[in-house]
Amino acid sequence: MLNHRILIVDDDPSWQELLSESIQEAGVGPYTLHVASSRAEAETLLDRQHFHLAFVDLRLREEARELEGKQVAARIVAQDEGTSVVIVTGHADVETALTALKEWKVLDFVLKDAWDPEKVIQVARVGIPVARERYRTRYESAVDFLRGGEGIMPWLARVLACVAPETSAPRPDRRLGDLLNALLADLFPLLRARSAPDILLDGATGTATGRFWSKALGTPVVMRFGRAEAIAQNVEAIAQGFAAVERRIADAELGVEGIICVPRLPAFEEFTN
């Protein structure tokens, strides 16, 4: 399982440090921490990365007429990626924080004016498991993502005809679904490539290829699966240096193997929701 991913959105370095220290004391296991000092920085990160837990200061700029942190928190909730959001605020904005609890379904809020590091520790320990469970149910089927608008059974039949046309394995559709679930586990949300949004089938080699941006990794990924001998040759090519193999999974009975690799290119701008 990949590290927990935590985001702090606050323009004050002192509060960034206090929140970071309390998160560390929470003992939530291995995590990766990102810090954004402005709404623009936060939105750039949210475009490219998925987070399990986000602490968002309502007042990112004291002179701003609108509460920019409110807009950031609302965006995170609207993205519907299972992120647990914690509002960080002063007494003056408690009413807004309470509205966020009721209407936006954020996890909780912590008060700067009555700083309690134990409260941060508590919400971190609660928020990450909640987010993990939301993530699991939100992204439980790789087939549902990969098939796009096509029906499940027609899509599986078409793909199996390419990658395992002569298989005698029982329930090959289920086996393929299980392999794809394992191959893409924890890599969601995935953004499709603008130039090739769907899985490309190659009947000559018996392989299927997809290019995506993984918000869990914060990098592009190439997924390839198909006849084991063709994938083995592909792994040898990858080993020569154009990409790193992130994951390799096989179903011997089905005769299908899959790999996830992380190429150096393309850039984020080539992917879209």
The string of pLDDT tens digits covering residues 36-62 is 999 999 999 999 999 999 999 988 766
My answer on whether 149 and 224 are in the same domain is: yes
Return the half-sphere exposure (C-beta side, CA atoms, 13 A cut-off) of residue 227. Answer: 17
The residue among 98, 116, 138 that closes a domain is 138
Confidence of residue 269 (pLDDT cuts 50, 70, 90): confident
pLDDT at 65: 54
In sequence order, what E strands does 58-199 have?
84-89, 108-111, 190-193
User: Six-digit token pair at 93?
Assistant: 């904005």
My answer on whether 147 and 134 are in the same domain is: no
My answer on whether 210 and 244 are in the same domain is: yes
Percentage of the chain lying above the pLDDT 70 cut: 93
My answer on whether 164 and 196 are in the same domain is: yes
My answer on whether 98 and 161 are in the same domain is: no
pLDDT at 234: 83
Q: What is the DSSP letter of 195?
A: S
Query: pLDDT of 9-27, one tens digit each?
Result: 999 999 999 999 999 999 9
CB atoms within 10 A of CB 15: 16
**Exposed / middle / buried, residue 265 (Cβ in 10 Å: 0-12, 13-18, 19+):** exposed
Q: In Å, how far are 81, 90, 92, 104 from 95, measured between CA atoms?
A: 26, 10, 8, 13
Q: What is d(CA 165, CA 145) in angstroms, rounded to the nearest whole number? A: 23
Q: What is d(CA 37, CA 33) in angstroms, rounded to the nearest whole number? A: 13
| Mean pLDDT, residues 190-195 taken together | 92
The residue among 121, 138, 155 that closes a domain is 138
Q: What is d(CA 268, CA 64) in angstroms, rounded to the nearest whole number? A: 30
The residue among 99, 121, 138 that closes a domain is 138
Q: Provide the domain count of the chain.
A: 2
Looking up residue 115, the CATH number of its domain turns out to be 3.40.50.2300
| Mean pLDDT, residues 174-198 taken together | 95
pLDDT at 171: 96
**Contact (CB, 8 A) for 258 and 249:** yes
My answer on whether 149 and 260 are in the same domain is: yes
My answer on whether 76 and 108 are in the same domain is: yes
My answer on whether 59 and 97 are in the same domain is: yes
My answer on whether 80 and 148 are in the same domain is: no
My answer on whether 115 and 89 are in the same domain is: yes
Predicted TM-score of the model (pTM): 0.90
Q: Tokens 């998160």, residue?
A: 23
My answer on whether 238 and 150 are in the same domain is: yes
CB atoms within 10 A of CB 118: 10
**Contact (CB, 8 A) for 51 and 42:** no
User: Six-digit token pair at 29?
Assistant: 């296991």
Q: What is the DSSP letter of 100?
A: I
User: Six-digit token pair at 262?
Assistant: 């992380």
Domain range holding 58? Answer: 4-138
Query: pLDDT of 49-106, one tens digit each?
Result: 999 999 999 887 666 556 788 889 989 999 999 999 999 987 667 777 677 767 777 8
My answer on whether 171 and 121 are in the same domain is: no
Residue 159 has pLDDT above 70, yes or no: yes
Inter-axis angle of helices 13-26 and 117-138, to 10 degrees?
A: 70
